[in-house]
A and B are shown apart, each in its own frame.
Chain A
Amino acid sequence: MAGVSVKNKSAITLKGSADIVCEYLDFGINSILFQRGIYPPEDFKPVENYGLTILMSQDSKIKEFLKVTLDQLNGWLVDRAVKKIALVISNVRTLDVMERWDFNVEYEGDTTDGAQTSEKPLKQIKNEIRDVLKQIASSVAYLPLLDCLCSFDIQIYTNDNVKLPTEWADTEPAHIKNAQCVKMRTFNTQIHKLETMVTYKNEE
């Protein structure tokens, strides 16, 4: 994806930046789904990227859902309509929110320029992403064990004037009571800046 969009080695376009962000989210969300044990580990297969081996889900439903969601998100990222992406992990039985992975999006540079480009080398961006993904993988050490049947949802925080596609709807924010928060590293493409943080239910 990124390779295609970044035609010129020294410049990343707005679209290319959105692609990079989406690719990161794809890998990040898959990694979270695997690490947090939301789906059985035999559904996942290792894929090499960013110099890491990341386990990607092979479940057709999840793949389809992520593809649809991220494709839509890509468009909104190009429009600069997204403020935040939240991966909400909920208990299926009680519908309590167990964890929320926030991906805060900030826009850098001239936010009105449609043909904005970045001079940041792709390798550096990939290294930054790799660091974040490593942090996500190591988050299992301190996050509480999800010992109930859980499922996930992806909420996108957008501007008010976003036109809703079919099968999309407004929803409520996912609040967590008695929560703790851990911020991860950020990475930026000099067009999009992505801050990753996890908020989880404090077990006491």
Chain B
Amino acid sequence: MSSKDSVNDTIIHMVTDLIPNNSKRLLMMNTPLKRPRISNPDSVMDKQQQKRPKCPSPGSEEATPVKRFKENDLFYVGSPREIRRLRSDLVDARNKIENFENRIASLHTARKSIEIMYDKEVNELKTQRDKDKKSIEELESQLQSIRKREQTLKKELFDCNMNYKILKNNTDMQIQKLDSSISTLKTEMQYSTSDENNEVTALKRKISELEYIYKAAQEETEAHKSLVVELNKRVADRSNIEGQLEIKTQALAKAHLQIKDISFSKASYLEYQQQSKTQQHKLIAFSDLEKENIKLREEVKNLKDEVHNKLVLEEEVHSLKTRLQNFKGIDTKYTNLQVTNAQTELYLEEFRVLARSICETSSDSSLPRLLRGVLENLQQQEINLTSEKIQLESQLSQVNHVAKVAKDELDKSQKHIADLQKNVKQHQNLIHRMQKKLSLVAGERDSYRKQLDSYEKDLTICINPASLANPGGVQIQSQQERIKNLEKMVDGYRDMVHKLETDLQNVEPNIEMEITPIKAQQISRLQDEIEKLNNENAMLRERKDVLEIQLEEYLVGHDETKARIIHNEKNPLSEIVKLRGQENEKLEEEVDRLKRKIKNLEEGLEASRLADETTDNKDILEVKEQLRSSEQHLQRLKEYFKSSMQEFRNVSYMLLGYKIDKTSSSQYKLTSMYAERPDDFLSFRLNNDGAMNLLANEFSSNLHEMIDLHLHHQRSIPVFLSSLTMDLFNNRTITKTFEVEDESDDD
């Protein structure tokens, strides 16, 4: 219903929206639309349809009056004024009519548009209605389907209720059944409980029986326990007894040991008795011995003194012997000297005779002085003579020098003279030549004179023919004469030339030969030099050329552009060089390796393991290291053993008082701590039976008694050694006390 209202509202709105565009008449016409406001749209539509036919009617009614006016024009024919008025009225009326018609037409159009709008609206409304209808139908169908569903649901409900009832019945039946079964079960249970009660009683009985048995067993166990306790007690007693037994056995052992000790001590006591006896013997003999001792000491003293004296005497003898030898030597020397003395005396005599003869004196006393004086005189004379001689020599040398100088001067002057002579000769030659020249010049002069004469003649001849006018034969004659003269002149010239040439030829060699023989030499020398130099020059030039060629060759390759030269450091050359170096190193390593291999192979160490060389090397290194470490270990052990051995030796020496040295295999040397001399030692040998034998030596020969007692009688080396120690120690201390006593005596 609400949808319908909304539809109506929309229609109304649309209508009202349209109204303001139309005139009031349209409003009037629309008013009827407003009025029939009926719920049913169909009725509205009907009414509109009813109204529409009515609308055009007023238009048609209004159109009629125009025609009526025309009828009126025809009817009224009166006064012109009236006509005019009528006409104006008519015009007005016509205008009005036209206006009205226009209005009618506009209204018509308005109406048409409105009609169209209505139609549209109607259509829209129709469609709306159809839609509504459809929706209503759908809703109805829906409603029907819902009703159907309701029915089905009701049916289902009914079915369900039915089912429920059936189920309820079934369950009730089951419950009843179960109740009955429960009751049966209860009865059964009652039965079973009664059975169980019976069983329980039986079991209880059994339990009581078992309890009885248990009690009996407990009693038994208690009895056993008491037994055990008793037994334990017994065991303890036994153990105590055993302990006592053990203690007793120990005591027994101890007693045995004591007995042994006692027997041993008894034996030793016997030994002591024997010893005491020997000691008593010794003591008895002691006073005698002391006396003897004193005597012996005195003897020793005497002997010592004697020995001392003897030594002194021996020394004296020795010194005397040496002196004797010296004296013998001196004796021989003395005889020799005597002989020489005699000889010298003879010589002296001779000298004296000589001196006397020299000094011409008979007195021997003043002889040496005189001789000295003579000698001095002679020496002086000699000195004087030598000085004179030196002076003379110097003079001689001076003279010689002067003579040399003089000779040189002489030579020079001779040379000079020769030069001068040469000069003179040259001058003479010159003079000779000059004279010749003079003669030549004179000849020339003569010839010139002759020429002059001839010219003069010619002149006269020439003048003559000109003046005389008689040429011909005279002229020819004169000419012939002239020719002759000229020929003569030519001959003269020729002679002159010839002469001069010969002169020149004569002169030139003379000049060269005579004037400059030295120069020629010089020249020749110089020429030689020049030649040499030329040769040298040529040689040097050749050398230079060669060198230049070489230099050029060198310069071609020499890069002389002065610029900074740079290059990429990572160039192929340096890279390849680097690679090569690395390769070289590798190869060298390999070569070394192979060499080593070859060495090994040669030594026949490992022929087959060529391939495992590297590992071998490693192995060798490892083994070497092991060796080294083991050696070190050994060294350390040695040091340790040495030190511990030394310590052991020291300890044994300090504790036992004997130093034991192994002189050779199974021979041992014992040196006592209290030995009087370093040579006092005992030597033992280990024999094949494993026993020690004392070897006789200087020291052991003094120990007869001890050897007899301890070794032969007691057969104990340690006892022997300890008694020896005691003995030596006592000796020491005694000597020490003696020393002290001596010192006190000295004080």
Residue pair A202, B553 in contact (C-beta under 8 Å): yes
Residues of A within 8 A of B556 (CB): 176, 179-181, 199
Query: A83, A164, A202: which contacts B563 (Cβ < 8 A)?
Result: A83
CA distance A15 to B382 in the complex (A): 116
CB distance from A89 to the nearest CB of B (A): 9
Interface size, B (range): 20 to 34
Residues of B within 8 A of A62 (CB): 572
Q: Which of B540-571 contact A (CB under 8 A)?
A: 553-554, 556-559, 561, 563-571
Taking CB as reference atom, which chain A residue is nearest B580?
A92
Residue pair B563, A171 in contact (C-beta under 8 Å): no
CA distance A100 to B565 in the complex (A): 14
Q: Does B576 contact A (CB under 8 A)?
A: yes
CA distance A164 to B564 in the complex (A): 11
Q: Does B574 contact A (CB under 8 A)?
A: yes
Residues of B within 8 A of A153 (CB): 567, 571-574
Q: Which of A146-204 contact B (CB under 8 A)?
A: 151-160, 162, 164, 167-181, 199, 201-202
Q: Does B577 contact A (CB under 8 A)?
A: yes
Residues of B within 8 A of A5 (CB): none
CA distance A113 to B487 in the complex (A): 95
Residue pair B561, A83 in contact (C-beta under 8 Å): yes
Residue pair B557, A175 in contact (C-beta under 8 Å): yes
Residue pair A88, B573 in contact (C-beta under 8 Å): yes
Residues of B within 8 A of A170 (CB): 564-566
Residue pair B567, A100 in contact (C-beta under 8 Å): no
Taking CB as reference atom, which chain B residue is nearest A104?
B561
CA distance A154 to B574 in the complex (A): 11
Taking CB as reference atom, which chain B residue is nearest A170?
B566
Residues of A within 8 A of B571 (CB): 65, 69, 152-154
When A157-B564, A159-B563 are in contact, do A65 and B554 touch as well, CB less than 8 Å?
A: no
Residue pair A100, B559 in contact (C-beta under 8 Å): yes
Residue pair B570, A65 in contact (C-beta under 8 Å): yes
Q: What's the tally of chain A residues with a CB closer than 8 Å to chain B?
A: 45
Residues of B within 8 A of A178 (CB): 553-554, 557
Residue pair B569, A173 in contact (C-beta under 8 Å): no
Q: Does A4 contact B (CB under 8 A)?
A: no
Residue pair B573, A158 in contact (C-beta under 8 Å): no
CB distance from A129 to the nearest CB of B (A): 23
CA distance A26 to B580 in the complex (A): 27
CA distance A26 to B19 in the complex (A): 99
Which one of A68, A100, A157, A164 has the greatest number of beta carbons of chain B within 10 Å? A157
CB distance from A29 to the nearest CB of B (A): 11
Residues of B within 8 A of A159 (CB): 563-564
Query: A156, A162, A181: which contacts B567 (Cβ < 8 A)?
Result: A156
Residues of B within 8 A of A123 (CB): none
Which one of B561, B569, B572, B580 has the greatest number of beta carbons of chain A within 10 Å? B572
- What are 27 residue pairs bridging A and B, where the CB atoms are less than 8 Å apart in the complex? A65-B570, A65-B572, A84-B563, A86-B559, A90-B573, A95-B577, A152-B571, A152-B572, A153-B571, A155-B567, A156-B566, A156-B567, A159-B564, A167-B570, A168-B569, A171-B565, A172-B565, A173-B561, A174-B559, A175-B558, A176-B558, A178-B553, A178-B554, A179-B554, A179-B558, A181-B556, A202-B553
Which residues in A have some Cβ–Cβ distance to B below 8 Å?
Answer: 61-62, 65, 68-69, 72, 83-84, 86, 88, 90, 92-93, 95, 100, 151-160, 162, 164, 167-181, 199, 201-202
Which residues in B have some Cβ–Cβ distance to A below 8 Å?
Answer: 553-554, 556-559, 561, 563-577, 580
What 7 additional pairs, Cβ within 8 angstroms, besides A69-B568, A159-B564, A174-B559? Answer: A88-B573, A151-B573, A155-B566, A167-B569, A176-B557, A180-B553, A199-B556
